[in-house]
């Protein structure tokens, strides 16, 4: 036992403390012989505990502490000031010996220097540090001066010694020390019926072990606290405390140390609508507008479902099922979300069976992007091996030769643990993507291969690839009967990190005409494309090279694109006439208007010198529409090799390239990654997981409705009687309706939504409730339905959820080292959410009364009949016959016909269904009247 601990133990014994038969080495305690379970390790009298009530009993400052507490100072702030003042008293303090025995410096992040702070840069602890500093600054700049001013106002005759004492106690260094002592060594004990944050001499000397089984017991009658070992301890082992199953971020932030390894360590991730999600192919408005609208819809759905957006990843569970499911919800279209979860509150997310589709892989890609972007902010980026080596070498060197300070070592432990969890999750994502690809392939069977690259007669394209330096060691380009879509197939098994193919930079269509190392490619349009948005620039470059014919470097590649992607029939008048009255016609018209405007802007930029280099038929609207379909279907966003190696803002380029254009965009970042390598000056396709020989890198279209397939330029996959087809019906009030705003708010609050997606199997209950909502026309009607109570409860629930989210981001000042505040807010949010959900269910039930349902069925039936009559053609049966006779027609015509047939058939089914509902409701009402 060293001299300092010896003096402390003598003082503790004099105050009535007792200890089991333990041996002391430094600041650690060891058993001499077996210590049975239930044995008392320490006994400490209440008289030497430091807590807020003890502060209130202080003769000089007690009343001041009470006033500060009444003014809003928290328990921990009062205790911090109490400890700082007692420390400044020196030997005049009752607790002098105890406080002198405590460490005089600590390893929590507020004590870090710039070098140590750089180690944890980009981590959650670093993000929390700003709030921690703000809380500490409030202590220094507000509560400490308040201590002095409150004392002065109470007793104007404050003597010089007390003034000097306060100046010493409220120095920034003194307050930092006192605050760290309270946060890192405070126990929450039950004292005389209430829980208090308490400093307990002796208890706080024990180190932490997450496996230790201990109990802290207080006895108000005997006025003593006991530290009890709940398990048997063998002789000669160290006695530990247990702070709980805490991750390293909480240990470092609250206590100043980390465990390595730490089974409880986690990496926190929050997901939502990814800003990195690629712009959808059918986007006619700006990407920002689409993202904002979609984000609001998906977040509203997730909130109503009670789905958390925060997840804790660990080495034991690197990829929770709920995380991937939630990521998919963020990407679902409105109709997909409606089909999977219905409308309303508390839908069972786990019960929804989402088909393997592009959304599956896009969600994996987005999660991977989120993790890589996060880890890029870390000092050292992706590199975890260097952290391991530094810690290993430091441990092997021995304490006498350690080249790392204690704070550097703990900071590295924390950072290494975070990186290892992220790497584990990245591996799990790659494995999940490969597994999903295999699962889909097994369900579909082996697709018929129509053509391989090597079959291309007379091998012009393949020869061009070989001569241009393209290498495809693992893959070949093929055309399958899976929608006759080009895709890639593995020639042999690959492992994670294998380069499947490499395309030299000079063969890339890049939106900024730059190579992988940033050098400008020599091209006549280099200066012009700098003024264009990426997609517009790529379309212009493609069309320019198309117009140069065989003189173009890319001639064989462009010919291949033209052969496999021909959407000129899409926009012909006779095609659009087929779609008269449908939502698809509006979508295509919007797209045409957008592309006409875009094309007009590009024509104004082109100079005569550009036009003289190409065919006169190059720059036409029809060709521009073709270039648009190629870019939307084949272009990919790729990143540089260094993108995730630094904290710089990620920069990705839109690229169109041979081989790459046969890779579905959703697989980029999920199954493989496309990277611009500066060293090889090439774009490489790298495997993200092990894949077997014969694997197809293509995306199933099975989960898509026909409208989406047409808008994504895969008309060859459109089928008659597609089970995913739907009719979108937008419900709303007229602008003249004085209650239109109120109805819109209630539509969202109740979960009924402003849009109904009708499918072949009618489920009209909620749809009719939505119609009934829009039929309300008086304050009395709204009040009877509980509308105003619902809006109030939903507002309260969202406020509670917002408080919980803020507390999750980073614990504030005094809550560092204690995450109970987050659990408290989460429970409050859960209760408020439950109350709002109950109110929403009651509101919907009121709207579903027999009389309201009968009127709603009549109104809805008339609405659907009107929509049906506005669609071109006659009946769905007639369209079916037309489709049967159109075997020799172009693919686009058959696709449009199949889509129109689906729209009519669904509407006809619903009209018949509502007629039956109306009949049943009328009969039930008549029966009820007869009984009365």
Mean pLDDT, each 10-residue run in order, the chain (932 residues):
83 93 89 93 95 94 94 94 95 94 93 94 90 92 90 67 89 96 92 92 91 92 94 93 91 92 91 43 37 49 69 93 82 65 51 60 89 85 83 60 81 94 94 85 58 54 91 86 70 94 90 52 69 87 89 90 78 86 91 91 79 78 90 87 53 86 89 87 92 84 79 79 89 84 88 85 88 91 92 87 59 44 69 86 91 93 94 92 86 90 96 93 83 72
pLDDT of amino acid 278 = 35
Closest by CA to 773, choosing from 782, 764, 765, is 782
| Partners of residue 757 on adjacent β-strands | 728
Count how many Cα atoms sit within 13 Å of the Cα of residue 114 in the half-sphere of its side chain. 0
pLDDT of amino acid 766 = 83
Rg of the chain (C-alpha set): 35
User: How far apart (Å, rounded) are the C-alpha atoms in residues 34 and 749?
Assistant: 63
pLDDT of amino acid 281 = 33
pLDDT of amino acid 225 = 94
Closest by CA to 197, choosing from 379, 50, 35, is 50
Q: Is the pTM of this model over 0.85?
A: no
How do 449-452 and 682-687 pair as beta strands? unpaired
DSSP 280: P
Sheet with 509-510, edge to edge strand ranges: 499-504, 682-687, 672-677, 636-640, 652-656, 509-510
DSSP 514: B
The three-state secondary structure class of 23 is strand
Angle at 855 between CA 854 and CA 860, to 5 degrees: 100
| CATH 3.90.1420.10 domain span(s) along the chain | 267-275+290-392+403-440
User: How far apart (Å, rounded) are the C-alpha atoms in residues 319 and 127?
Assistant: 23
| Partners of residue 216 on adjacent β-strands | 227
- Give me 250's structure tokens: 């909480």
User: How far apart (Å, rounded) are the C-alpha atoms in residues 691 and 687?
Assistant: 8
pLDDT of amino acid 479 = 72
pLDDT of amino acid 297 = 55
User: How far apart (Å, rounded) are the C-alpha atoms in residues 478 and 696?
Assistant: 9
pLDDT of amino acid 818 = 43
- Give me 770's structure tokens: 């939505």
Give the DSSP H/E element, type plus range, for residue 107. none
How far are the Cα atoms of 74, 105, 927 from residue 109, in angstroms, in the given order?
Answer: 22, 12, 75
pLDDT of amino acid 750 = 86
Q: Could you tell me the maximum CA-CA distance found in the chain, to the nearest angstrom?
A: 106
Give the DSSP H/E element, type plus range, for residue 254. helix 248-255
Residues 6+ apart with CB under 8 A from 559: 460, 461
pLDDT of amino acid 342 = 53
| CATH 3.90.1410.10 domain span(s) along the chain | 3-244, 444-716
pLDDT of amino acid 460 = 84
- State the architecture of 3-244 in CATH terms: Alpha-Beta Complex (3.90)
Closest by CA to 594, choosing from 541, 638, 533, 652, is 533
Angle at 792 between CA 790 and CA 796, to 5 degrees: 115
Superfamily of domain 444-716: set domain protein methyltransferase, domain 1 (3.90.1410.10)
Q: CATH number of 267-275+290-392+403-440: 3.30.70.260, 3.30.360.30, 3.90.1420.10, 3.40.630.30? A: 3.90.1420.10
| Number of residues assigned to the chain | 932
Closest by CA to 613, choosing from 505, 540, 509, 556, is 540
pLDDT of amino acid 349 = 46
- Give me 415's structure tokens: 């950072």
């Amino acid at each position: 036992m060293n001299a300092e601990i010896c003096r402390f133990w003598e003082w503790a014994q004099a105050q009535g403390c007792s200890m089991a038969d333990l041996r002391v080495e430094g600041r650690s305690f060891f058993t001499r012989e077996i210590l049975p379970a239930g044995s008392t390790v320490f006994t400490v009298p209440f008289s030497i505990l430091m807590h807020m009530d003890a502060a209130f009993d202080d003769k000089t400052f007690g009343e001041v502490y009470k006033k500060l507490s009444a003014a809003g100072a928290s328990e921990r702030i009062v205790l911090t000031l109490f400890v700082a003042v007692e420390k400044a008293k020196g030997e005049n303090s009752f607790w002098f010996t105890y406080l002198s025995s405590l460490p005089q410096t600590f390893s929590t992040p507020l004590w870090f220097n710039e070098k140590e702070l750089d180690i944890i840069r980009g981590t959650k602890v670093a993000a929390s540090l700003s709030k921690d500093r703000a809380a500490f600054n409030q202590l220094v700049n507000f509560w400490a001066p308040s201590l002095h001013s409150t004392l002065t106002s109470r007793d104007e005759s404050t003597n010089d010694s007390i003034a000097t004492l306060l100046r010493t106690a409220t120095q920034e260094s003194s307050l930092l020390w006192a605050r760290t002592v309270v946060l890192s060594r405070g126990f929450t004990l039950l004292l005389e019926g209430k829980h208090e944050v308490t400093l307990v001499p002796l208890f706080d000397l024990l180190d932490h072990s997450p496996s230790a089984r201990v109990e802290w017991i207080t006895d108000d009658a005997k006025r003593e606290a006991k530290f009890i070992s709940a398990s048997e301890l063998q002789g000669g082992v160290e006695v530990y405390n247990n702070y709980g199953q805490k991750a390293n971020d909480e240990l470092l932030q609250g206590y100043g140390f980390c465990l390595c390894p730490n089974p409880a360590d986690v990496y926190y991730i929050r997901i939502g609508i990814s800003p990195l999600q690629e712009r959808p192919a059918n986007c006619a408005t700006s990407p920002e507008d689409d993202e904002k609208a979609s984000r609001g819809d998906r977040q509203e759905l997730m909130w109503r479902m009670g789905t958390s957006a925060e997840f804790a990843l660990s080495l034991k569970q690197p990829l929770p099922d709920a995380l991937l499911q939630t990521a998919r919800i963020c990407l679902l279209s409105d109709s997909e979300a409606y089909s999977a979860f219905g409308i309303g509150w508390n839908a069972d997310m786990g019960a929804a069976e989402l088909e393997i589709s592009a959304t599956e892989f896009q969600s994996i890609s987005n999660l991977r992007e989120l993790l890589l972007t996060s880890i890029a902010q870390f000092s050292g980026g992706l590199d975890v091996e260097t952290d391991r080596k530094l810690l290993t070498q430091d441990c092997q060197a021995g304490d006498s030769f350690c080249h790392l300070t204690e704070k550097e070592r703990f900071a590295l432990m924390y950072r290494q643990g975070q990186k290892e969890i992220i790497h584990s999750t990245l591996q799990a994502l790659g494995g999940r993507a490969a597994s999903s690809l295999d699962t889909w392939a097994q369900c579909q069977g082996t697709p018929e291969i129509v053509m391989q690259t090597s079959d291309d007669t007379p091998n012009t394209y393949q020869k061009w690839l070989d001569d241009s330096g393209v290498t495809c060691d693992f893959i070949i380009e093929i055309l399958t009967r899976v929608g006759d879509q080009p895709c890639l197939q593995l020639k042999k098994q690959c492992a994670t990190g294998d380069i499947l193919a490499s395309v030299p930079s000079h063969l890339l269509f890049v939106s900024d005409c730059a190579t992988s190392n940033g050098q400008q490619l020599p091209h006549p349009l280099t200066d012009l494309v700098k003024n264009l948005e990426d997609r517009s620039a790529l379309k212009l470059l493609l069309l320019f090279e198309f117009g140069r014919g065989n003189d173009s470097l890319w001639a064989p590649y462009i010919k291949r694109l033209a052969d496999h992607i021909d959407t000129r029939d899409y926009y012909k008048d006779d095609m659009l006439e087929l779609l008269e009255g449908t939502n698809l016609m509006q979508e295509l018209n919007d797209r045409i208007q957008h592309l006409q405007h875009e094309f007009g802007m590009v024509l104004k930029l082109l100079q005569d010198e550009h036009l003289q280099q190409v065919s006169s038929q190059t720059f036409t609207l029809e060709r521009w529409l073709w270039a648009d379909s190629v870019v939307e279907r084949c272009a990919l966003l790729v990143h540089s090799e260094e993108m995730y190696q630094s904290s710089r803002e990620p920069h990705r380029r839109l690229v169109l390239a041979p081989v790459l254009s046969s890779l579905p965009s959703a697989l980029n970042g999920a199954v493989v990654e496309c990277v611009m390598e500066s060293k090889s000056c090439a774009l490489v396709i790298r495997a993200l997981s092990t894949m077997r020989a014969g694997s197809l890198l293509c995306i199933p279209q099975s989960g898509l409705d026909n409208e989406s397939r047409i808008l994504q330029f895969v008309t060859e996959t459109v089928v008659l009687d597609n089970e995913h087809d739907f009719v979108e019906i937008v419900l709303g009030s007229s602008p003249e309706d004085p209650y239109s705003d109120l109805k819109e708010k209630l539509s969202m609050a109740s979960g009924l939504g402003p849009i109904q997606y009708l499918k072949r199997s009618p489920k009209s209950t909620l749809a009719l409730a939505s119609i009934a909502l829009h039929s309300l026309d008086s304050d009395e009607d709204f009040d009877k339905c509980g509308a105003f109570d619902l809006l109030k409860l939903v507002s309260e629930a969202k406020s509670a959820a917002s408080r919980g989210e803020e507390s999750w981001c980073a614990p504030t000042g005094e809550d560092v080292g204690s995450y109970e505040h987050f659990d408290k807010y989460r429970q409050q949010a859960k209760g408020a959410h439950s109350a709002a959900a109950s109110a929403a269910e009651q509101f919907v039930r009121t709207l579903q009364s027999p009389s309201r349902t009968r009127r709603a069925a009549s109104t809805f039936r008339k609405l659907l009949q009107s929509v049906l009559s506005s669609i071109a053609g006659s009946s769905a049966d007639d369209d079916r016959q037309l489709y049967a006779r159109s075997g020799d027609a172009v693919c686009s015509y058959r696709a449009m016909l199949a889509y129109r047939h689906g729209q009519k058939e669904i509407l006809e089914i619903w009209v018949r269904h509502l007629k039956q509902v109306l009949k049943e409701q009328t009969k039930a009402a008549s029966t009820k009247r007869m009984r009365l």
